[in-house]
Structure 1
């Protein structure tokens, strides 16, 4: 849950800097990891005979797939926050919690179980009840959000496989490296990108703005990513998914107090269902461990 809260706080920072692009947010997240976290890890492993040891992956092929999909997914995630209301962005993102257990079942052989499936379903009903999903059409922003949903579910499943042998930091390190590489490619070709798409990939980013984002968004993004990777390493994905619905509760509360987005009746009902699903699953799993 601390991971979900960290992601929500990062979303607040993104909403407060509408003049910047999703590519810049992703670059700043990666820069925080490389500038502040890598030296710390290197320092604590300085007695290693091979200084590259803490950064080596034991599953390089899957790592490449995960890094590419994860980077694209993060950019879509940031773009969704920029173009939608806070609550709606979180709500659509929460749909990945329904896909991830299914992916885990088919690709990792995890057993979902009746109790976990009920908890996931109750939370999913809550999300869609809040959306009241009768749309006149699907716009480009919602398409990007749905792409993020599919990529998030895929990345979470692949991450679980990688984390059997690798540490969370290794995964974050390579994701950050690829993000910086992508940032350089888009920055160096921003003129043709804007000419073809009309999208300003790299608006002016002052040194002050970079520093503010680095120390405001960077830590929250890092804690969010590291927290869920640590959780993935320890337990089944299907157990964790109902807790993802707490994102929606944070979205409703932050949207109201910070962005003056007043939750409607559907939102409050959804929050109740989400809390109920998480509480029931926690109670069931706690009793199961004791027995």
Structure 2
């Protein structure tokens, strides 16, 4: 058994919630490096062009897995859900990359923590789910944390911040579809199908603002493109596996590590120092999101218990 197999075996022996936590931290690290590369590339390329290269490179890095297991693994009976996930993902990516080209990294990251809050609103208004007072209260508190980051009383809210919040709306939709798909689909297959759909779709807006990267194959903008594609792929695979390994309520708290990673990277590369309002607002948003996720998990367990009791009662009566 080689060292990789030894680590893999030891990892599989860990409790599911521990696996999910490690995977979410890995996803946070991967996405943080991706965001750093996007910021670096945005000095030379339009964000829409960067989005195309991110999708293409992500697909390239997943091809060895497809060749190893065979293309049959991509067969799915849920193409519509994959298409919806890709639409949400591309919309989120275009908004997020645009915001990253205009705002400090940590502020964009903190604002994207609102995604679970938007998911709660969407569940109530669009899906018709019953959201009780405690979850609405947590959602309102989370959006108060957003106001701390935006500081609307101190200055006019920047349009770039609204773009970041729009990205969070689409991220919420993408996360819901990933969680749904992870119940029946392979995590790697979800990532590959996403790349197959999003790569040609992202070329359409990129074509209107196209320019070629500079430098050699492993230097200049090309080097950052390779790093962006690799880190984004690691992030996506870890994210889908985290949701498959454990409940969202168990893994979402570890998403806060993204703000820690991006704070360090932003300071190292660009001298950006997150202010206290970014940390405080991000913490409040995350705390509200964690509460909502845990409350949803509790309600789901109660619903399952009620259904089990009903089945037992019905079986006894018959």
Do they fold alike, i.e. is TM over 0.5?
yes
The answer (yes or no) to whether the contact 1:28–1:213 under 8 Å persists in 2 is no
Q: Aligned equivalents of 2:291 and 2:248: distance in 1?
A: 17
Deviations 1:169-223 (A, max 9, x none): 2222222122321244345x52xxxxxxxxxx22332354463133211111111
Q: Which residue of 1 aligns with 2:110?
A: 91
Q: SS where residue 270 of structure 2 aligns?
A: coil
Choose from 25, 28, 32 the match for 2:53.
28
Alignment check: 8 A CA contact 2:252 2:290 kept = no
Matched residues in 2 for 1:167 and 1:273: separation? 33
Q: Which moved more, 1:247-256 or 1:84-93?
A: 247-256
Q: CA deviation at 1:109?
A: 8.0
- The whole-number CA distance in structure 2 between the counterparts of 1:247 and 1:120 is 21
Q: Any idea what the Cα deviations from partners look like across 1:249-283, whole Å, max 9, x if unmatched?
A: 333333333321233333455577689899999xx
Is the Cα–Cα contact under 8 Å of residues 110 and 278 in structure 2 kept in the other structure?
no
Tell me the residue number matched to 2:310.
none
Unmatched segments (≥5 aa) in structure 2: 1-24, 298-318
Using the size of structure 2 for normalisation, the TM-score is 0.69
SS of 2:264's equivalent in the other structure is helix
The change in CA–CA distance for 1:128 and 1:215 in structure 2 (over 3 A counts) is same
Aligned counterpart, 2:210? 202
Give the match for residue 162 of structure 1: 181
Note the residue ranges of structure 1 that are not aligned, 5 or more in a row. 47-51, 191-200, 286-291
Compute the displacement of 1:84 (Å).
0.8
Distance change (3 Å), C-alpha of 1:211 and 1:129: same
Aligned pair count reads 267
Residue in structure 1 matched with residue 274 of structure 2 by the alignment? 263
CA RMSD across the alignment = 3.7
Shift of the 261–162 alpha-carbon distance from structure 1 to 2, 3 Å rule, reads same
Separation (CA, whole Å) in 2 of partners of 1:238 and 1:175: 24
**CA gap 1:160/1:21 in 2 versus in 1, 3 angstroms:** same
Asked if 1:211 corresponds to 2:247, the answer is: no
Deviation at 1:125, TM superposition (A): 6.0
Task: Describe the SS at the equivalent of 2:61.
Answer: helix
Tell me the TM-score normalised to structure 1 length.
0.74
Query: More deviation in 2-11 or 139-148?
Result: 139-148
In structure 2, relative to structure 1, the CA distance for the partners of 1:171 and 1:9 (3 Å cut) is same
Structure 1 position 55, deviation (Å): 1.2
Which residue of 130, 151, 169 maps to 1:150? 169
- The answer to whether structure 1 residue 75 and structure 2 residue 100 are counterparts is no
- Aligned residues of 1:32 and 1:214 also touching (Cα < 8 A): yes
Tell me the alpha carbon deviations over residues 42-69 of structure 1, each in whole angstroms, 9 at most, x when there is no partner. Answer: 22x24xxxxx311112311111111112
Shift of residue 127, structure 1, vs aligned partner:
5.6
Deviation at 1:27, TM superposition (A): 2.0
Of 227, 231, 234, 2:242 maps to 231
Pick one of 8, 29, 32 that aligns with 1:8: 32
Contact 1:94 1:248 in 2 (8 A): no
Counterparts of 1:156 and 1:23, CA distance in 2 = 22
8 Å Cα contact 2:85/2:178 also seen in 1: yes
Partner of 2:64: 39
Instruction: Give the match's secondary structure for 1:57.
Output: coil
